[in-house]
């Protein structure tokens, strides 16, 4: 793995020092009464055909490192501290990284499990600097078994996004859907649904091409602005277990995004289908597919922007005594009524994961 660049991770570490101290120090205080933290690590390498999610973005290889920790709090029943961090080191000065820390409360109401959480996140990106931001979120997840083979989950979250750099409208990644219920590992790595695309070809993407319908709709008075967004997400999932080694999940999602940049506000709807098959204790196959539609509320003059996305992800795990080896392939096709906002992307990744 290439050398990690301090310029990328230093701001994140500075903001999170107090949180990390708590995560490390808690086990040392009253160790007899505190459950040992659960740790998970993942190390992988892969190739991404279009990490910037732009029409002519570069294809880059990468190495990735991800760490997760979960620490129950003994003085608060059912409450735990969770932390997740990942760093993706692309070829050249194109690294990205993220840190999330939150408190989660899990309680039972009869046969229904209720999870409540508060979370803070920090995202840094050298490839698409318009996407760099700090986040805060509040959410709830309800899980209820309907029968021995069927369960239901309802998810709701509100997320606040404070972007670090001055940006123009549509100047960030359109993003893949990547919506997954909390606590369930997504088949496709989460695609930055809260992001917005490199330097772009529309109002927020530098000079418009002569063939672009946006050319006459980006007056000179538009200048980079501070961006603050709010994203609300509501999702419903049901999982059916037709056999001990097979499960099928169907999910419906609705999202609403309000932005201080009016052109970046939209309504989003999606349907997802996932399959998990465990032919033996040592092998697992996971596949995920779905469709989404994103309607932007405002567009310059009479131009309407609607994005349609479809995706497919496949991952194979080989479980070992002390971890697992895995390989995955993700395909994403994003179409838009604004031609220059359309893109295609595929990525493959293989690696090793272990829980301590």
HEC assignment per residue over the chain: CCCCCHHHHHHHHHHHHHHHHHHHHHHHCCHHHCCCCEEEEEEEEEEECCCCCCCCCCCEEEEEEEEEEEEECCCCCCEEEEEEEEEEEECCCCCEEEEEEEEEEEEEECCEEEEEEEEEEEEEECCCHHHCEEEEEEEEEEEEEEECCEEEEEEEEEEEEEECCCECCCCCCCCCCCCCCCCCCCCCCCCCCCCCCCCCCCCCCCCCCCCCCCHHHCCCCCCCECCEEEEEEEEEEEEEEEECCEEEEEEEEEEEEEECCHHHCEEEEEEEEEEEEEEECCEEEEEEEEEEEEEECCCCCCCCCEEEEEEEEEEEEEEECCEEEEEEEEEEEEEECCHHHCEEEEEEEEEEEEEC
How many other C-beta atoms lie within 10 A of the C-beta of residue 240? 14
Kindly state whether residue 83 falls inside one of the protein's structural domains: no
> Cα(16)–Cα(106) distance, rounded to whole angstroms?
24
Tell me if 200 is assigned to some domain.
yes
Bridge partners of residue 41, in order along the sequence: 67, 354
pLDDT, one tens digit for every residue, the chain (356 residues): 443 343 444 444 444 444 444 444 444 444 445 678 899 999 999 999 999 998 887 999 999 999 999 999 988 889 999 999 999 999 888 999 999 999 999 999 999 999 999 999 999 999 999 999 999 999 999 999 999 999 999 999 999 999 999 999 888 898 654 333 333 333 323 333 333 332 333 454 433 333 333 434 444 457 889 999 999 999 999 999 999 999 999 999 999 999 999 889 999 999 999 999 999 999 999 999 999 999 998 766 667 899 999 999 999 999 998 899 999 999 999 999 999 899 999 999 999 999 98
Is-contact 165 130, C-beta < 8 A? Answer: yes
CATH number assigned to the domain comprising residue 121: 2.40.160
Is 237 part of a structural domain of the chain?
yes
Tokens 């795990």 correspond to: 317
Instruction: Compute the distance between CA of residue 48 and CA of residue 60 in angstroms, rounded to an integer.
Output: 6
Instruction: Find, among 247, 254, 246, the residue nearest to 271 by Cα.
Output: 254
228-243/246-259 β-pairing: antiparallel
Q: Output the pLDDT for position 298.
A: 74
Q: How far apart are CA 192 and CA 176, in angstroms?
A: 7
7's tokens: 């310029």
Residue 304 lies in a domain: yes
CA distance 81 to 336: 40
What pLDDT does residue 303 have? Answer: 78
Number of domains the chain is built from: 1
CA distance 15 to 19: 9
Q: Is 170 left (phi over 0), alpha (psi -120 to 50) or beta?
A: left
Best CA proximity match to 316, nearest among 343, 278, 270: 278
CA distances from 313 to 5, 66, 355 (A): 30, 20, 23
Domain membership of residue 77 (yes or no) is no
Up-side HSE of residue 18: CA atoms within 13 Å toward CB? 3
* Residue-number span of the structural domain to which 149 is assigned: 100-355
Looking at the domain assignment, is residue 264 inside a domain?
yes
Answer whether 174's CB lies under 8 Å from 144's CB: no
| 138 is a domain residue | yes
∠ CA 283-48-343 to the nearest 5 degrees? 115
CA distance 200 to 327: 32
> For residues 342 and 126, what is the distance between their CA atoms, to the nearest angstrom?
22
d(CA 170, CA 296): 11
Residue 181 lies in a domain: yes
* Residue 191 pLDDT: 31
pTM: 0.80
Which pLDDT does position 285 carry in this prediction?
A: 98
Give me the half-sphere count of Cα atoms (radius 13 Å) on the Cβ side of residue 300: 15
């Amino acid at each position: 793995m290439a050398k990690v660049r301090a310029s990328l991770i230093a701001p994140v570490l500075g903001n999170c020092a107090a949180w990390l101290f708590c995560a490390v120090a808690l086990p040392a205080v009253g160790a007899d009464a505190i459950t040992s933290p659960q740790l998970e690590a993942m190390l992988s390498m892969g190739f991404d055909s279009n990490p910037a999610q732009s029409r002519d973005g570069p294809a880059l290889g990468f190495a990735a490192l991800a760490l997760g920790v979960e620490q129950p709090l003994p003085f608060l029943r059912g409450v735990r501290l969770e932390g997740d961090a990942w760093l993706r080191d692309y070829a050249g000065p194109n690294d990205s990284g993220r840190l999330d820390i939150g408190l989660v409360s899990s309680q039972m109401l009869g046969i229904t499990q209720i999870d409540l959480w508060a979370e803070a996140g920090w995202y840094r990106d050298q490839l698409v600097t318009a996407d760099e931001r700090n986040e805060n979120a509040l959410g709830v997840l309800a899980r209820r078994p309907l029968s021995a083979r069927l369960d239901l989950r309802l998810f709701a979250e509100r997320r606040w996004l404070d972007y670090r750099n001055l940006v123009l409208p549509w100047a960030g990644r359109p993003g893949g859907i990547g919506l997954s219920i909390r606590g369930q590992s997504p088949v496709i790595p989460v695609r930055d649904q809260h992001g917005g695309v490199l330097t772009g070809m529309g109002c927020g993407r530098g000079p418009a091409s002569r063939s672009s319908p946006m050319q006459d709709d980006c007056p000179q008075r538009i200048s980079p602005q501070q961006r603050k967004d709010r994203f609300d997400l509501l999702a419903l999932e049901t999982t059916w277990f037709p056999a001990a080694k097979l499960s099928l999940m169907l999910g419906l999602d609705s999202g609403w995004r309000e932005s201080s940049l009016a052109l970046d506000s939209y309504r989003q709807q999606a349907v997802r289908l996932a399959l998990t098959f465990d032919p033996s204790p040592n092998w697992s196959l996971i596949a995920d597919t779905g469709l989404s539609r994103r309607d932007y509320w405002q567009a310059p003059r009479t131009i309407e922007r609607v994005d349609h996305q479809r995706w497919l992800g496949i991952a194979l795990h080989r479980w070992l005594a002390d971890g697992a080896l895995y390989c995955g392939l993700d395909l994403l096709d994003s179409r838009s009524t604004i031609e220059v906002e359309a893109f295609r992307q595929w990525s493959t990744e293989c690696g090793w994961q272990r829980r301590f």
